């Protein structure tokens, strides 16, 4: 199988028509993307160069929620994460600034001052994807989520939408203590409330139910990255679409079961 060149990848990115100067959060499957000349490191170089031009930020999630039962939840200097090879490459890249979110950190690339501001005070967030976190700033700054070879069950930003809209039955009410080892070696303990719902063990698996509504409201631009079907998703439009669903659902939680979301909840005269 031929490998994708830098020119191939840039051509695919151009076809997505990403607005300039905005943050882009990248969730991906390297296996789905396929072979790229120079490997994951070269792919990161291409994406950083492409999305940080004109003042944009390129954000790679580096979650560590698998460490919730360990003494250190996040060691900022460690490449430990639970999202795989691309996140590991991002952590090791000296150009990136890693947030101190105790369990949902990300590495942010771009102008250093802008990246530092984006991740500022992340260690003090009350929930993993709070509106005050990097995920909330993605919405505030009219950013995008880029899903390459993965579906909306990997779209971490949708947890933030739940919190922005104050959707019930999404968060636990008992804070969990977590520990962060900062870059300077300082140890900080903090408390976060975690995702919790009565309906299912992990509500994010039902986020895929929103995709039909997202497409109806043109939240998504489709394309490819390598071999991977790729969705470029507007954070603002996704939030507005979910808000519309909850305005029309009559108090019925659209994620309470596995059934498709009724069209009348999002196909309405606006």
249 vs 153, 204, 263, 266, 268, CA distance in Å? 21, 19, 10, 9, 12
Q: Do the beta carbons of residue 61 and residue 83 sit within 8 Å? A: yes
Instruction: Kindly tell me if the per-residue pLDDT of 269 is higher than 80.
Output: no
Q: What per-residue confidence (pLDDT) applies to 156?
A: 98
Closest CA to 262 of 220, 166, 253: 253
Beta-strand relationship, 187-192 and 176-181: antiparallel
- Sorted by where each begins, the domain ranges of the chain are 6-265
- Global pTM value: 0.96
Taking each helix axis as running N to C, give the angle between helix 157-164 and helix 235-248, from 0 to 180 degrees, rounded to the nearest 10: 50
Q: Compute φ and ψ for 28, nearest 5 degrees.
A: -150, 165
Q: Do the beta carbons of residue 43 and residue 86 sit within 8 Å? A: yes
Closest CA to 93 of 58, 129, 130, 136: 58
Quick one: what percent of the chain has pLDDT higher than 90?
A: 97
CA distance 204 to 159: 8
Taking each helix axis as running N to C, give the angle between helix 85-92 and helix 39-52, from 0 to 180 degrees, rounded to the nearest 10: 70
Tokens 């005050």 belong to 132
Two structure tokens written together for 184: 């300077």
> Would you say how long the chain is, in residues?
270
How do residues 57-110 score in pLDDT, each as one tens digit?
A: 999 999 999 999 999 999 999 999 999 999 999 999 999 999 999 999 999 999
Instruction: Kindly tell me if the per-residue pLDDT of 268 is higher than 80.
Output: no
Give the burial string for 188-202 (b: 16+ CB within 10 Å, else e). Answer: eebebeebebeeeee
CA distance 212 to 43: 30
SS3 9: helix
Q: What per-residue confidence (pLDDT) applies to 1?
A: 63
């Amino acid at each position: 199988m031929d490998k994708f060149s830098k020119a191939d990848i840039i051509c695919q990115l151009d076809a997505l028509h990403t607005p300039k100067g905005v943050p882009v959060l990248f969730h991906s499957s390297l296996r789905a993307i396929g072979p790229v000349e120079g490997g994951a490191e070269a792919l990161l170089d291409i994406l950083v160069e492409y999305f940080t031009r004109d003042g944009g930020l390129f954000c790679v999630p580096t979650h560590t929620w698998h460490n919730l039962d360990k003494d250190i939840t996040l060691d900022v200097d460690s490449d430990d994460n639970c999202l795989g090879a691309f996140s590991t490459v991002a952590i090791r890249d000296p150009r990136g600034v890693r947030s101190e979110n105790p369990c949902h950190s990300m590495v942010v690339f771009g102008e250093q001052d802008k990246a530092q501001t984006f991740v500022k005070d992340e260690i003090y967030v009350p929930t993993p994807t709070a509106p005050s976190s990097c995920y909330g700033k993605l919405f505030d700054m009219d950013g995008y989520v880029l899903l390459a070879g993965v579906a909306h069950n990997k779209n971490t930003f949708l947890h933030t939408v739940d919190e922005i809209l104050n959707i019930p039955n999404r968060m636990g009410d008992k804070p969990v203590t977590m520990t962060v080892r900062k870059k300077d070696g300082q140890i900080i303990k903090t408390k976060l409330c975690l995702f919790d719902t009565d309906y299912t063990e992990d509500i994010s698996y039902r986020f895929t139910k929103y995709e039909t509504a997202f497409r109806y409201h043109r939240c998504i631009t489709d394309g490819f990255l390598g071999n991977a079907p790729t969705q470029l998703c507007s954070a603002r439009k996704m939030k507005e679409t979910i808000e519309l669903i909850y305005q029309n659902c009559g108090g019925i939680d659209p994620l309470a079961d596995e059934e498709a979301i009724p069209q009348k909840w999002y196909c309405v005269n606006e």
